[in-house]
Amino acid sequence: MEITKKMVEKTATKLSAEEILGGKVLSVKWEPKLKYAWDNGPAIGRYLAELKNGKIIAKKCDKCHRIMIPPRMFCELCWVPTGEWVYVKDTGIVNTWIVGYVDWKAKRLDIKGGVRPITPGIIEIDGASKGMGILHHLGEVDPWKIHRSMKVKAVWKPPEERTGSITDIKYFKPTK
């Protein structure tokens, strides 16, 4: 049997956001306020502590020899506990990136008004195994001049402002 226009037309009724938010259609509004304290475990705990010191640390798998960042207590490929801690560099290359005109809530940025687009990317960290990237932002660069394999370096917050967070690195900027 074919699914026809006549069959589907009465299954759903179209509304506009204005009809809902404007109160023409009654709705109930709720804003959740939830609080969590997430434990980070020994691997990410050490990662954060090292970021506070201005260093990036990885962990090595003794079986596949991958130097992994972010560090982890077990290798998800070999399924064994990981071995030694390895300091890696705070430089790397751009694996891939975007030029964002919306924020995380899909709200438009005022690009025409001079707001810089948001430029997150995946940075492959020097000293970690090939392809080991982390998510971070790119800065001090024309968004439209970013390119694949561009060499970049971390720009750190001053030591007194660091809290032990991924945001202790402000962003990565191109190296000359």
Partner 1 sequence: MRRVAIVGAGLTKFYRNTQETPKELAYEATKMALDSCEMKLSDIDCVVHGTAPDAFDGVHMKGEYLSDGSGAYRKPYMRHFVGGGTGVLSPIHGWFHVASGMFDTCLVVAEEKMSSAYPHPAGAFLTIFDHTTEQPLYPTLIYIFAIEMNRFMTTHGYRKEDIALVAVKNKKNAMDHPSAQLPAEITVQDVLNSEIMAWPVNRLDISPTSDGAACVVLAAEHVARRITEKPIWIDGCGWSLDTAYWTTRDLYYPDYLEVAARQAYKMAGIKEPSKEIHIAEPYDPFTYKELHHIEGLMLAPRGKSVQMLVDGHFNRNGNLPTSPSGGLLGVGNPIAAAGLMKVIELYLQLKGTAGKRQVPGNPTCGVANAWGDLMQVGTVVVLRS
Which positions lie near partner 1, rule CB under 8 A?
1-5, 7-9, 11-17, 19-20, 25, 30, 32, 36, 38, 40, 44, 47-48, 68, 70, 72, 76, 95-107, 117-118, 120-122, 131-137, 148, 165-167
Q: What angle do CA 38, 39, 44 make, to 5 degrees?
A: 115
Please state the closest distance from residue 68 (CB atom) to partner 1, in A. 8
Please state the closest distance from residue 101 (CB atom) to partner 1, in A. 5
For 43, 167, 173, the CA distances from 48, given in Å and listed in that order, are 9, 10, 21
The set of residues, in sequence order, having a beta carbon less than 8 Å from that of 13 and lying 6+ positions away, is none
Please name every residue paired with 124 in a beta bridge, in sequence order, or none if there are none. Answer: 93, 133
3-state secondary structure of 49: helix
Q: Between 88 and 132, whose beta carbon lies closer to partner 1?
A: 132
How many whole angstroms separate alpha carbon 136 and alpha carbon 166? 8
How many whole angstroms separate alpha carbon 166 and alpha carbon 18? 39
Please state the closest distance from residue 42 (CB atom) to partner 1, in A. 13
Q: Between 76 and 160, whose beta carbon lies closer to partner 1?
A: 76
Place of tokens 């790397």: 92
Place of tokens 């919306």: 102
Please state the closest distance from residue 159 (CB atom) to partner 1, in A. 19
Q: Between 137 and 153, whose beta carbon lies closer to partner 1?
A: 137
Please state the closest distance from residue 154 (CB atom) to partner 1, in A. 13
